[in-house]
């Protein structure tokens, strides 16, 4: 059996970029058990049909984690733009508890009017 495919030679190099997207809400346990793995869920608003979930950036400093959600944005496509708050998306990551003490999570929520980063901060104790 044959299949014929046609490709446009006008745009051989798709244009895309990565964009940090503010995290709107977080579901995280109130406490952790040492050695266990936990799923942490977040929600965010997808700005357009050109935005595709790409993962998380993590910055670790002892028991403090900064979490930034990243979307890939396809700049060369004509996509629908969504009104803010209308296209809620869920994403999650797994977190393994390898240290005792308080674990601090800083979820990036965008920037304020002065360009300063905003974070939703959660402290989670570890029980043994």
Residue 80 gets which letter from DSSP?
P
- What is the residue range of 47's domain? 16-127
CATH label of the domain that carries residue 57: 2.60.40
Q: What is the pLDDT along the chain (128 residues), one digit of tens a residue?
A: 333 333 344 555 668 899 999 999 999 999 999 999 999 999 999 999 999 999 999 999 989 999 999 999 998 778 888 887 889 999 999 999 999 999 999 999 999 999 999 999 999 999 97
Whether 36 is in a domain gets the answer yes
| Cα–Cα separations (whole angstroms), residue 2 to 5, 6, 8, 9 | 10, 13, 20, 22
């Amino acid at each position: 059996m044959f299949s014929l495919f046609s490709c446009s030679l006008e745009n051989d190099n798709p244009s895309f970029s990565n964009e940090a997207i503010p995290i709107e809400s977080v579901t995280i346990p109130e406490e952790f058990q040492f050695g266990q793995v936990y799923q942490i869920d977040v929600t965010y608003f997808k700005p357009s049909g050109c935005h595709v979930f790409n993962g998380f950036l993590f910055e670790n400093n002892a028991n403090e984690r900064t979490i930034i959600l990243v979307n890939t944005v396809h700049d060369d496509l004509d996509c629908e733009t969504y009104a803010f708050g209308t296209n809620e998306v869920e994403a999650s990551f797994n977190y393994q508890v390898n240290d005792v003490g308080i674990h601090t999570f800083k979820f990036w929520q965008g920037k304020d009017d002065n360009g300063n980063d905003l974070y939703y901060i959660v402290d989670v104790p570890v029980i043994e």
